[in-house]
Structure 1
């Protein structure tokens, strides 16, 4: 025993000594390049381990590694990550992080499915809005407003909450592809976007990337004008959260709370957000209210697999702003705030209206939960597989006030319901075949059931509504049940009784299946890619209203449409500062569902001749200059031809009869150039500018057909002359300057000036559009961040003032009535009898946010 005890002590001493020798104590300071200001809360992690720390208030850190040597990864939101080597005890000194516009620090689940431009070496025309800017500038507007300082983008926000619109290179939202974490979210029937369904997306967005033109997406989607990728929060690298309170003009209130556990030792992570908002709206009687929820569960069993499930939704209701002649706004005491859609002095029996003492002419009610399950699998060093399985169930209605024709008494609210069940899967396999050759192949599958009908949403002065249809053997019947105007009730208790519906009642089944692939070659300074997609889309419509057996459906014929797209491009890096690229593409895009059938009112018959595929041809080229922090420049030119369009107008009247129009063979040509300059002339000053010059016109003439209420053609086909007409809706020339100045540590002002010119009205294709007056707006913002808790927590203050100078401008005009010879009949050269809407005047919001 006497010999064993010394031996044991010697062994313990040796182990302790060896352990101490193998450890490394690391220290240093993290600074912002340029300003040399400390970056408190920067993340440092030892590569290949979970061993990490954050910097203190002065940007200092100390970390003990169990390794004698290795690498330390340093990251901070909004800055490029840095990796440094260490060996033994090391004071790394001052480490400076450069500001970064890339998405390196954003954790992206389903990265192989989310088609970001940075994932491909051959560039596209692209702009990216990061989480910090989204957080600061979202305010009380819809998501498109965040993009208004982007080249060739114009946003329209003159209605109620959630009614915002966006144009990209002159194409409206039906022809811009919107993706949420790789999931297509444009309407399957008509490509439309309703931002009221996505009110909460700005609260959970990590980044929004606008790809103009052909874009980087591999899916066969509606990206005629471009693609907008929305990347949401999923897995956070560390635990934390925030609580935010916002106030704004017209009694706007928004509250959000978010928390994330980060990734624990077993690979699990949880995050969630709850929010609430309400407001009166800038336009009179456009009050609204809604909630936001977001829950995410992640699991990383090992470094090769990452699984994430998330569900998000934004149940809401809001009153809408009705249309009126320009003269009505000018004659009203309320001016831009005038809303013709209201009934003064009528109390709603529903408590949602509260103190307003007014029943709106129209109310949007909707709840659309979206869920997706993502799986990223790193198969080996050269290959990976990303898959997203998603689904959404939309339930909601447009409730419109119905009055007695004789007395004007408000009777009930009629609901135009647009429900759906949508499920899909997108999967992408990536293989680095050789050092220079990369292959992507995948599939895109979607199943969509649309459910459309009219019913009673709310009884006001009556307790039943008489209806007449083929239901009940062509006898009158009565609607005695009201579906309600609360989005939660509408979702969980939808109207499924066909005998409590009237006006129209039909469903459609749209199934879509596609395959896609991309091959990219890069060597030295040259890169090129080829991309293709092939898809089939089927349509079946089932009618419930005019059927032989009341309440039972009758299906029409099934139609299948094949579509495809091809893209090719190349880039050459002249030097580290100069790069050139060219891209070309051709789409054969299936017509929307609404272009295939006669009309909404009881027919499941296809239009004859059937609408053919739209033909889109695009060319673009660009030059990129990267001068580091000082200046970078993007110059793009594009030419897009959009042919064989079919347009349906279901709003015509012929005396007391309802008529619709089908216009065939419509062709548009959009071309232009875009300049974007990003500079940092001083250490604390960021100054950016852009200029977009476009020419968007209809080419050649088209053929128009007219149908009566029964879908029977009236008269013969007629040619309409549209060649040379300008495309309306968006400004063809835009420009702007925006910047920020940090005048004190963590305190800054920012401003944006945006200018819109060469704007034309929308309206009948048979008449030339009107030239609208140009306009410009100025927005201001102020931010201040106060640190506390050793500098790893903060309180952020933010103020936004939009349209600071209260500019009065026409944002949109629908009509073709030319200016009158009498100046009193015109407003800035536009006849006052045309339907229009003025943009918002001065608006503001302020918020306080506690990050922990």
Structure 2
């Protein structure tokens, strides 16, 4: 009996210990030791004896945390990137909660330098220190919110930012910041500019999986903090890749969504090994049919980072690529055409896409974008001392991108003017005509049938071409405009502390870029061959000896579809060397920042004339294109420079003011300098000038974070080239001057622990400050140029983005690890953005020249989500998330590139009456205007397993 009682007493004692251990709870507040600000996002971990991880949580918005332990003793570890880790040992046997009070973390100067220098020329904004307006998305925010959207759409919730899906294709989203188009925004990957220097475009599709591999994406509005001279005039987007020594672990990700959307991704990181080596890798595959008709897509991505840390050196090698192909909706569509493909009265067919047709009863997309431009980076960071560090970065890329397009005409009309009864391209008609058969086309407007038949071009054959001289029929082909891109360069950055709180950064930036531009044939649609001559007149019947070429010449092109260059081929060569310097000085409550830089850019064009054909061996009958004939321009040097200055003043721990000012002189892009498909230089090119001044105010407290800024920017001497694949840049609009000014507000509040509100407000006033000039660059019959035309745009509103935007959102944790929320964004004062040359009253006449941009209807869009995270064990967890974008299926016009007013003459009426009188109106807008609609309701469900 005594023995049994003794055993029972032991069991009860052990159970009481377990119960006491299960009740071990801790709470506290984590703050910065200098600014006394709550460190939202800090990590709190419970380590049991032996430093084994038992529990891990993230500090709440107000800096508070609560965590428990099943052990009677161990260590509480509090850490955050940029701060020294603090460890608090505990020994506890009582059943209560230990209040650890306020835990102050000390800034880790070494880690902070690593953050800046590891990314080399990327300059990360520091809150309450750097006098720049910015917004940041962290990786966990991107992976939660991206849904099946393009990652660039996530910036739409930032103040001053508007994104549009344009035609709705994968990766085709465009971004507008403070009223500036995206060709005035500088995207950078790990401090490397990926802005297209040849055409000024931004290829988001090539980096569409950036949200999977970036630790953060920071948009710096206005001047930005980048030291590089090729900085933007509207904003800089820093996409910071994960380093090889990222936290050990990985994830598997599977997602499904509307219209056949599927994505799978897997990633693993070794963490920093004892040997100093580390590795991080990711693979993903994405596909779908697209929300818009015939916008299917298929994309893959890969990422590999290898690292080695030894002594004072840290080496990182990274390679990233995202091969993709996607069908597009590119061609203009009038509002009346949407309505005709809807109910015919007032409900448009929002998914209508005219850029496809049927061939052999199969869907055939005629606008397809493709590309694969991998990027490789090698970086070496060397810490000479705690105060001096040298960062050296080399990078390179070689890849191809392009898009398909139609070439040629039938009876003077291009392919888009031959629709079938459903409004799609009548590809069967085109094929019948191209092959010489009797082709019947039925007008979808009148129902009348018309017959056409082609005569042979040469020796009974039907040869297509793009010749646009006096020919009324050249046959219609599908071709690809292809860019073979090669660039490589390096950045060397030295950062040193000259004196206490005085830091100097100095660097060199060099880069060489070659864009090889050409055209290839994808489909002849029944024709026997294609005239691949690069000359300005057809040469399908003559060779260099003015004798008839045999049929083998056409076989050469036909048998090498997708390989033989046709119509044109040239190299755009751009090289530059720049230097910059930056001074940072902290004194008392003031933070001072000054930057300056200069670069010289060398532009050169090499034109290849491939119109000569010859037998590879005399008498062999095998004809090849002579690829050796080329004509090169001299290198044209163009200088650029910038200077910026800013100051931040921390009034108290809660309040700060800041201001910045600066100017940028930016060299024009290549297609602005060289006009047309030849080596002639545009006589009107100039550097673009940008000046800006901005002031801001910040407020931080336990429950609220607020940023308010006001800006005024002038952008002068901008130029827009007008381009077609057949003519090159046939004209240019120069002297585009504008003033963009506005106010922006961003606020985040946490009134209670589980509820977070966020909101933004952007109010802009964006106008042209002078008239512009259009110059037709095509020679007149006399050999000169026609007189320039004045475009009446002074005081006109700048379109392309709403000048009033407001958003409000909320996230609420209903119970542990279950969060749901929504966000509403309202947009107003949005105007159309037509080609400025349409404001020429002399050329177009008073009737058809645009006079004012159209104000588009306001709209509000609501997004919603719900997510739940459950843990499998300490290290493993599964996340479930449902995103529903445009929850209420709001139908709205996202952009327009024409400006027909209600009282403008309706060109489709044939009677000279107005849109208003004809009743040709949609939602208060003349239905003759081209437009793209925003996407309706879309959804996405994701399962993510972390280990």
TM-score normalised over the length of structure 1: 0.85
Single out whichever of 399-408 and 289-298 deviates more from structure 2. 399-408
Aligned residue number for residue 612 of structure 1: 686
2 CA distance for matches of 1:187 and 1:469? 25
CA offsets 1:104-147 (integer angstroms, 9 cap, x no match): 99977723422111289332111111111100111222122111
2:46, 2:69 within 8 Å by CA — same for their partners in 1?
no
2 CA distance for matches of 1:342 and 1:99? 62
1:30, 1:42 within 8 Å by CA — same for their partners in 2?
no
2 CA distance for matches of 1:99 and 1:341? 60
Single out whichever of 161-170 and 396-405 deviates more from structure 2. 396-405
Residue 338 of structure 2 aligns to a residue whose secondary structure is helix
2:162, 2:175 within 8 Å by CA — same for their partners in 1?
yes
Between structure 1 and structure 2, the one with the greater Rg is: 2
1:54, 1:61 within 8 Å by CA — same for their partners in 2?
no
Instruction: Pick from 345, 351, 357 the counterpart of residue 337 of structure 1.
Output: 351
Aligned residue number for residue 880 of structure 2: 797
- Pairwise CA distance, 1:825: 1.1
Instruction: Pick from 567, 571, 574 the counterpart of residue 651 of structure 2.
Output: 574
2:757, 2:810 within 8 Å by CA — same for their partners in 1?
yes
TM-score normalised over the length of structure 2: 0.77
Residue 337 of structure 1 aligns to a residue whose secondary structure is coil
Equivalent residues in 2 for 1:732-751, closer than 5 Å: 732-751=803-822
2 CA distance for matches of 1:567 and 1:62? 55
2 CA distance for matches of 1:118 and 1:53? 33
CA offsets 1:824-844 (integer angstroms, 9 cap, x no match): 212122211121111100001
Instruction: Pick from 725, 735, 744 the counterpart of residue 665 of structure 1.
Output: 735
Structure whose residues are more often strand by fraction = 1
CA offsets 1:405-461 (integer angstroms, 9 cap, x no match): 373228753111011101111221111111121111111111100010011135664
Does residue 1:244 correspond to 2:322, yes or no? no
Aligned residue number for residue 378 of structure 2: 373
Q: Does the C-alpha gap of structure 1 residues 483 and 141 become closer, same or farther in structure 2, counting only changes over 3 Å?
A: farther
Equivalent residues in 2 for 1:286-297, closer than 5 Å: 286-297=295-306
1 CA distance for matches of 2:814 and 2:928? 49
2 CA distance for matches of 1:777 and 1:661? 39
Aligned residue number for residue 34 of structure 2: none
Equivalent residues in 2 for 1:371-770, closer than 5 Å: 371-400=376-405, 405=410, 407-409=429-431, 413-458=478-523, 461-462=526-527, 464-470=529-535, 473=544, 477-478=553-554, 479-482=557-560, 495=563, 500-545=564-609, 550-551=626-627, 552-599=629-676, 601=677, 603-609=678-684, 611-628=685-702, 630-651=703-724, 660-708=730-778, 714-765=785-836, 766=839, 767=850, 768-770=852-854
2:73, 2:92 within 8 Å by CA — same for their partners in 1?
no
The number of residues matched between the two structures is: 779
Aligned residue number for residue 353 of structure 1: none
- Pairwise CA distance, 1:222: 3.9
1:420, 1:450 within 8 Å by CA — same for their partners in 2?
yes
CA offsets 1:10-58 (integer angstroms, 9 cap, x no match): xxxxxxxxxxxxxxxxx98676859xxxx99955799xxxx95433376
Q: Does the C-alpha gap of structure 1 residues 748 and 189 become closer, same or farther in structure 2, counting only changes over 3 Å?
A: same
Aligned residue number for residue 844 of structure 1: 939
2:643, 2:663 within 8 Å by CA — same for their partners in 1?
yes
Aligned residue number for residue 64 of structure 2: none
- Pairwise CA distance, 1:703: 2.2
Aligned residue number for residue 864 of structure 2: 780
2:24, 2:72 within 8 Å by CA — same for their partners in 1?
no
- Pairwise CA distance, 1:464: 3.6
Cα RMSD, aligned residues only: 3.3
- Pairwise CA distance, 1:228: 0.9
2 CA distance for matches of 1:441 and 1:226? 22
1 CA distance for matches of 2:700 and 2:489? 40
2 CA distance for matches of 1:29 and 1:114? 41
Q: Does the C-alpha gap of structure 1 residues 85 and 784 become closer, same or farther in structure 2, counting only changes over 3 Å?
A: closer
- Pairwise CA distance, 1:83: 3.3
- Pairwise CA distance, 1:319: 0.5
Aligned residue number for residue 163 of structure 2: 155
2 CA distance for matches of 1:709 and 1:416? 25
1:28, 1:94 within 8 Å by CA — same for their partners in 2?
no
2:120, 2:190 within 8 Å by CA — same for their partners in 1?
no
CA offsets 1:671-697 (integer angstroms, 9 cap, x no match): 000011110011100001111110000
Residue 690 of structure 1 aligns to a residue whose secondary structure is strand
Equivalent residues in 2 for 1:138-153, closer than 5 Å: 138-153=146-161
Residue 660 of structure 2 aligns to a residue whose secondary structure is strand
Residue 196 of structure 1 aligns to a residue whose secondary structure is helix
CA offsets 1:219-267 (integer angstroms, 9 cap, x no match): 1124211111111212344321000100010000000010111111011
2 CA distance for matches of 1:542 and 1:271? 41
Residue 591 of structure 1 aligns to a residue whose secondary structure is coil
1 CA distance for matches of 2:42 and 2:495? 38
1 CA distance for matches of 2:828 and 2:751? 29
Single out whichever of 243-252 and 382-391 deviates more from structure 2. 382-391
CA offsets 1:795-850 (integer angstroms, 9 cap, x no match): 00011000001101000101122223227212122211121111100001011000
Aligned residue number for residue 450 of structure 2: none
2:645, 2:662 within 8 Å by CA — same for their partners in 1?
yes
Residue 179 of structure 2 aligns to a residue whose secondary structure is coil
Single out whichever of 109-118 and 318-327 deviates more from structure 2. 109-118
Aligned residue number for residue 228 of structure 1: 237
Q: Does the C-alpha gap of structure 1 residues 296 and 616 become closer, same or farther in structure 2, counting only changes over 3 Å?
A: same
Does residue 1:203 correspond to 2:205, yes or no? no
Equivalent residues in 2 for 1:303-342, closer than 5 Å: 304-322=312-330, 323-333=332-342, 335-342=349-356
2 CA distance for matches of 1:741 and 1:685? 5
Q: Does the C-alpha gap of structure 1 residues 572 and 109 become closer, same or farther in structure 2, counting only changes over 3 Å?
A: closer
Residue 132 of structure 1 aligns to a residue whose secondary structure is helix
2:76, 2:87 within 8 Å by CA — same for their partners in 1?
yes
Residue 350 of structure 2 aligns to a residue whose secondary structure is helix
CA offsets 1:178-214 (integer angstroms, 9 cap, x no match): 1111111111213311111112211111111111111
Residue 500 of structure 2 aligns to a residue whose secondary structure is coil
1:580, 1:622 within 8 Å by CA — same for their partners in 2?
yes
Aligned residue number for residue 809 of structure 1: 892
1 CA distance for matches of 2:672 and 2:924? 35
- Pairwise CA distance, 1:97: 9.8
Aligned residue number for residue 128 of structure 1: 136
2 CA distance for matches of 1:96 and 1:788? 31
Equivalent residues in 2 for 1:93-112, closer than 5 Å: 110-112=118-120
Does residue 1:267 correspond to 2:244, yes or no? no
2 CA distance for matches of 1:781 and 1:713? 61
2 CA distance for matches of 1:754 and 1:345? 42
- Pairwise CA distance, 1:392: 1.0
Q: Does the C-alpha gap of structure 1 residues 63 and 559 become closer, same or farther in structure 2, counting only changes over 3 Å?
A: farther
Aligned residue number for residue 85 of structure 2: 83
2 CA distance for matches of 1:662 and 1:362? 26
CA offsets 1:379-421 (integer angstroms, 9 cap, x no match): 1011111222111112122123568837322875311101110
Q: Does the C-alpha gap of structure 1 residues 830 and 713 become closer, same or farther in structure 2, counting only changes over 3 Å?
A: farther
Aligned residue number for residue 350 of structure 1: none
